[in-house]
Amino acid sequence: MRDIILNDNIFQVGINDRITDLFEGLWPIKNSGISYNSYIIKDTSPVLIDLVKGFKTDEFFDYVSSIVDLKAIKYVIVNHMEPDHTGVLHTLRMINPGFQIICTAKAVAMLKEYYDINDNIRVVHDGDTIDTGTHTLQFYQIPFVHWPETMVTYDVNSKTIFSCDAFGGYGALQGAYFDDDYPDISFYEKEALRYYANVIAKFATPVRNAIKKLQILNIEMVAPSHGLIWRKSPARIIDLYNKWADCSINGGERGVTLLYGSMYGNTEAMMNVVAQGISDRGIIPQIFDVARTHSSYILPSLLVNKGVVIGAPTYEVSLFPYMQEILKKAALKNIKHKKAVYFGSYGWSRGGYKKVQEICAELGWEVLEGLEFAGKVTDKLFSEGFELGKRFATLL
């Protein structure tokens, strides 16, 4: 395998994962895959920056060994303790007990808890540096992006920031590793948004704080531990993360996520005319059947769009369970400050709209109105649904 060279004797030595179905046991990556990026600085004192998940261990060590002897590694930088970035740490320690682990103070207890490692550890703070020979590495803590012990490593010489989960995304790498290798990076940007919404979104304020802190650095390359390395447009991924964090705090952009579930087709029929009403006002809604779409793919749309349409029937004097489930996921990820409307059919009892109002109050969403109807959709109701969509789009 050819070397993947960033610059100045810096190499990417990560591995692709195309066999895991659920990232974190929660989020589907069967179709997209994911990369675990690790980096070597081949210098007087060789450095390994972040590791990989504890699978394909031999492949990873063989790759590292092709660049530097494992026993010659002087430092292992642990930017983040999560096992997809430290899974081979204990094995590496058995091969080379002499390397020093560089991490934040909060990572020390985790090293003991996960890997029974409590020696040869150096704790670093904001602005601390190590000299590896021809490179100077500087460290900055970015707590809760997305664990409390996280930090980034900045190579002063190459102006590269090794950011671990920050600025990362889903998507195995297709034999090319840099943003400028791809004529179209829309797939990776979309998967970065899905990763952000699934994994990082709960911590929007820490993300904004981290980006503000890192503004003092002259960043010419962003090297995360998942996804593309950004060397042509490093500001692009930072700006996207900042934009997505703003969506959590400010409610998002002018757009509509239309969520629906339907038991016998009545709510779905109403959904179609509500969507037409929204489109009539120049907004094309993003439509999701909550019973057939994993929340991983819905959360990105909920994050970035200001408007949410909730279409679901009453179920046992409450709300259709799949709709409750996705709204609870939105709450878990701190997706707030939305404007919403409701529509839905009921049979022998109302209850769906009331439950939506309760859940949205907890979310901090403003429910503008609701249209609850018995049984099938009449011509009169179709007209009301179309007008509901028009009014809602106009208010965004």
Q: What is the mean pLDDT of the chain?
A: 97
DSSP 156: T
Report which of 310, 377, 373, 365 is spatially closest to residue 345, judged by C-alpha positions.
373
The DSSP-derived string for 176-189 is --BGGG-S--HHHH
What tens digit of pLDDT does each residue of 289-348 get?
999 999 999 999 999 999 999 999 999 999 999 999 999 999 999 999 999 999 999 999
- Mean pLDDT for 232-241 is 98
Domains and CATH numbers, the chain: 4-249 (3.60.15.10), 255-395 (3.40.50.360)
Which residues is 139 bridged to in the sheet?
153
How does pLDDT run across 70-120, given as a tens digit for each residue? Answer: 999 999 999 999 999 999 999 999 999 999 999 999 999 999 999 999 999
* Alpha-carbon span 304 to 132, nearest angstrom: 42
Q: Interhelix angle for 186-195 vs 295-304, to 10°?
A: 90
- Residue 2 predicted with pLDDT over 90: no
Mean pLDDT of 367-371: 98
Q: What percent of the chain has pLDDT over 90?
A: 98
- 3-state class (DSSP) for residue 297: helix
Per-residue pLDDT band for 8 (boundaries 50, 70, 90) equals: confident
pLDDT at 372 over 90: yes
pLDDT bucket at 1, cuts 50 / 70 / 90: low
Contact 359, 329 (CB under 8 A): no
Q: Does residue 147 register a pLDDT over 90? A: yes
What's the confidence (pLDDT) of residue 3? 87
Q: Mean per-residue pLDDT for 31-53?
A: 98
